[in-house]
A and B are shown apart, each in its own frame.
Chain A
Amino acid sequence: MILRLTLIIILLTLSVRAFSQSQIQGYVRDENSKGIAFANVYIENTVDGTSTDENGHFVLETEEKGSVTLIASFVGYKPFSITSDVSKLNNLTINLKPDLTNLNEVVVTAGSFQLKGGSNLEKKNAIDLVTAAGSEGDLYKSITNLPGAQISGTDGKLQVRGGSSYETQTYIDEMHVMSPYTSMPANTAVRGRHSTFIFDAINFSTGGFSPEYTQSLSSVLPLSTKDESTITKIGASLTSVGLGTGGTKSWDKGSASFDVNYTNLEPYTKLIFPDEKPDWDKYYQGISAANQLRFKLGDKTYLKTYFTYDKTLFKKKETPAFSNIDRKLDFDEDNLYLNSTFKKRFTNGINYFAGVAYSWNKKNINNARVPNDLFKSDESELHLKTKAEKRFSGLYKLGVGTEALIRKYEMTYLDEKSVERKVNHNIEGLFVSNDFNLSDKLLLNASSRIEYASLDKSFALLPRIALNYNIKKDIVLSAVAGKYQQTSPNENLIYNNHLSQENTTQYILSAQNTITNYRVFRVEVYHKKYNKLTTIYDDFYHSDGHGYSQGVDLMYKDGFRTGNKQSLEYMLSYSYNDSERKYAEYNEKIMPPFVTKHNASVILRYSNEKLKSIIGVTNRFASGRAYHNPNLPGVMNETTPAYNSLDVSWTVLAHKRLIIYASASNILGRTNIYGYDYNPNPNTSGRYEAKPIKSYQNNFFFIGFFWTISGKVAYDPATF
């Protein structure tokens, strides 16, 4: 009996095993109902699974019983799952949906250059940017070689498409930078405060930019630092104008970087321009320190904090154009910038960003305008911003955000009398951006910003519409129209702190042909209409100025091999600008003195691996600037001579831990004139005498040695 029972149990067990395999079959298809080949189909928590064939068909065998979860997945698609009794899972048709977080985002090309960090247009790293001849190792100077950027006058700041330098604003990690330039003596070109090498992405917009960026009438320069720095390194630099050191310590979940630089123009000035010695009581000196902390808090979650501080000191003799009274301008400046940003990509596809930035600048200038006077200023800005965006489908992406700018400015001028002024105001904005991928060739962006300005208690609606059409893979047409506004500078607000927001409406049409990775041709036409510009008359400041700026920008760049391990890259750019505006003390429309009608540049870059060298030559030309000659009738009735500067540079990749860079600007020694100062009093013949406004130094010579002291890196002068 027992033996019989045992035999039955054994037979039953064997038969259960024989018949325990189940088969699940079906198809996996994409959003167009086309079969997905080699998709992964499996039972959760088991190794039972299979791959689909070329038609998306699968047959899966499993010994699992009862309720199971079947999952289908493929790269670029959201996983699909279904839970059911295994016997009911058959003849399935599984439709996978695209994972939109991985969708390649199209960028509107009109009015924009992606200089680093992307695959459009300028495929360069920081070394390429700052070692172009004429850049003198400075980001802003290297950008003046691009079409649309105008060769600036004596102050060296970036001017774009007929706009003043104030109309171009800088952003770091999407947060505004109040004071991006160093301070220099009169008629000496400024430099950017932040090293180019710390930025992972450099974008430059000549207009028509997203309404996410505000308080700029012409152009924005969005710069992004690295989210991660995975290599621990230390570096140092020694240049003709100073020295520096810095480094990065990297760990699993983050990194910390620092950079310290000391600039002193005394050795350089004494060596190259010994005649200037009597001008200086204290040669220009500056010390700067920068630090960044980066934390990776999770998958696609980053927290970064970036801090810089710099101090500038100099004491220089200034002699007004038509005065015998010298003064020793004694300059002392502190500048601080702190920004902290958080960004996260959620699994539901929402990209979230929050940031806070604080800028502070304080100046103390003795003998600022006349001997024994004192000028003090204290300026600060707090910028708060948050935004979120999500792609809902292949067709539509939505972005929304809000921000506030809280600004304070105080100035004191002590002479025979004391003058004190304060301006405190804030700007709040709400922006919305709608991206429509109407087809794989056509992108439409409709966005808008509502902004409140406390100065004149006004609300403004600032819409923007942009269209990007890929005629073919390498030919893109773009069109942008948008409205922008900007608060008048502090030097106007201290006299009237109810001035209206200056505004502009811009229209841009662009065509770009990317023939090869190196050969690109681009043409853009634009028209900007200005309103509510600040004017000065009847001893008061008003907001009734207006004007326009229009023109065309052309760019052609190419590169080719000239021999074994040698290559030549070149870029030709030309800009034509026609501008007139009624503004400041001009009570009729005039061509502003900072505008040049024609701008052209030729940039050559020759690389030779045998010589381990990159040699650069840049030739820049600009037509003359308008100025007012009181000896003649009319307003802005004369033009300065044309501008020209031939610059050269040589970069030697001496060793993978040592880069040597040398440059010389304006090697032909041309004296470029940016305008004229006229004696307010006529001479005995009744003529007003003039003195040319020119740069304090005609040329600039630079040599720098950049070492990587430790760290597994090569040809990487960045300490960040």
Chain B
Amino acid sequence: MKTFKFYLCIAILIAPMALSAITNTDSTYLKVMEKTVLKLDSAKSVNELQTIRNQFERISLKYDKEWLPLYYVAYTGIQMVYYSPKAENNEAILETVKASLDKLNSFTNADKSEVSTLYGYYYNGLSMTNPAVNGQKYFNDVISNYEKAIKLNPENPRPIFLLAFYESFLPDFIRSKRDFCEEINKAKSLYQKEQKTIEKPHWGEAFMIQISAKCNK
């Protein structure tokens, strides 16, 4: 009886540790993703973005079955280019972004609309690094990827406002018949409906509000 009670105490001691070893993997992932996505939402400089990108890279290497960390590695890379279009290492960054995007295509559980949006965003980023050469070269890639993203998920606000924003810089006769402010308002109401969880991308609302200023006049 005494021996039985002894082993029972040991088992009671060990069991929580063993259980936490199993659940810690999932909770670690969720915890670290939540922390990093929060930081991303408030990032304001290329240096901050680089730090956050490093973190997403570590998460994606550890949790290589999850598509979202890799998605954010690509996204933060493109954001770095947008923040500093003339930086010398932009070409190298965009190469790694393309590699990440191409790898994302092999994830069956990745949100295809979000991946297409990011492709469009990537080509737009490429255009920004050298507008005279790349503007015309990637014009079709930007538009076709945003339009594909919208077709895959018409409730995704990101490609809607990004496409409207991109077209607002094009010559009148090249633009589609879409009205900029109408598209922005559409995206606005979709953002309001969107649930901001760490399980899906939710970026872009602050940027959209910024560019929508002229529609409020």
Contacts and interface: CB of A to CB of B under 8 A. Distances in A.
A633 to B, nearest CB: 57
Interface in B1-60: 2, 5-6, 9-10, 13, 17, 28, 32, 47, 50-51, 54-55, 57-59
Contact of B32 (A2, A40, A47): A47
A49 B143 contact: no
A2 B6 CA distance: 6
A632 interface: no
A119 B62 contact: no
Interface stretch (A5-13, A173-181, A501-509): A5-13
B206 interface: no
Contact of B132 (A102, A517, A609): A517
Interface stretch (B92-100, B153-161, B187-195): B92-100
A565 B58 contact: no
A712 B10 contact: no
Given A75-B96, A653-B173, A713 B58 contact: no
B93 A75 contact: yes
A49 B36 CA distance: 13
Main secondary structure on chain B at its contact with chain A?
helix
Interface in A223-257: 230-231, 252
Interface in A1-49: 2, 5-6, 9-10, 13, 37-40, 42, 44-49
A102 B92 contact: yes
A585 B54 CA distance: 73
A320 interface: no
A49 B58 contact: yes
A125 B144 contact: no
B89 interface: yes
Nearest to A607: B171
A300 to B, nearest CB: 9
Contacts of A713: 140, 144
Interface string B72-112: 00000000000000000101110110010010010000000
A531 to B, nearest CB: 41
Which size class do B's interface residues fall under? 35 or more
Interface residues of A, number: 43
B172 interface: yes
Contact of A51 (B51, B89, B140): B51
Output the residue of A39, A75, A565, A656 with the most chain B CB within 10 A: A75
A37 B139 contact: no
Output the residue of A40, A565, A612 with the most chain B CB within 10 A: A40
A440 to B, nearest CB: 12
Contact of A714 (B91, B99, B140, B148): B140
B144 A712 contact: yes
Nearest to B146: A712
B172 A609 contact: yes
B82 to A, nearest CB: 16
Contact of B54 (A38, A119, A517): A38
A10 B13 contact: yes
Interface in B119-148: 130, 132-133, 136-137, 139-141, 143-144, 147-148
Interface in A39-85: 39-40, 42, 44-51, 73, 75-76
Contacts of B28: 47
Nearest to B69: A47
B143 A712 contact: yes
B132 A123 contact: yes
Contact of A38 (B2, B47, B92, B95): B47
Given A13-B17, A517-B132, A653 B144 contact: no
Contacts of A48: 58
B174 interface: yes
A310 interface: no
Interface string B147-183: 1100000000000000000000001111000000000
Nearest to A101: B95
B174 A2 contact: no
Contacts of B172: 609
Contact of A47 (B62, B102, B132): B62
A252 B105 contact: yes
B133 A123 contact: yes
A299 B143 contact: no
A715 interface: yes
B13 A6 contact: yes
A259 interface: no
Given A38-B47, A75-B93, A123-B133, A47 B59 contact: yes
A40 B55 CA distance: 8
Given A125-B137, A231-B141, A712-B140, A9 B55 contact: no
A651 to B, nearest CB: 13
Contacts of A252: 105
A48 B174 CA distance: 49
Interface string A248-276: 00001000000000000000000000000
A351 to B, nearest CB: 15
Contacts of A714: 139-140, 143, 174
A91 to B, nearest CB: 22
Nearest to B2: A2
A231 B120 CA distance: 13
Given A46-B62, A230-B141, A713-B144, A51 B54 contact: yes
A40 B133 contact: no
B92 A75 contact: yes
Contact of A299 (B57, B61, B99, B136): B99
A716 interface: yes
Interface of B: 2, 5-6, 9-10, 13, 17, 28, 32, 47, 50-51, 54-55, 57-59, 61-62, 89, 91-93, 95-96, 99, 102, 105, 130, 132-133, 136-137, 139-141, 143-144, 147-148, 171-174
Given A51-B54, A252-B105, 11 more contacts: A40-B58, A45-B62, A47-B55, A47-B59, A104-B91, A123-B132, A565-B171, A712-B143, A712-B148, A713-B140, A716-B140
Chain A to chain B: the 5 pairs with minimum beta-carbon distance, closest first? A712-B144, A40-B54, A38-B50, A713-B140, A51-B51
Interface of A: 2, 5-6, 9-10, 13, 37-40, 42, 44-51, 73, 75-76, 99, 102, 104, 119, 123, 125, 230-231, 252, 299, 517, 565, 609, 612, 653, 656, 712-716
14 contacts: A2-B9, A6-B9, A6-B13, A9-B13, A40-B54, A47-B62, A51-B55, A102-B92, A119-B130, A119-B133, A125-B137, A231-B141, A713-B140, A716-B140
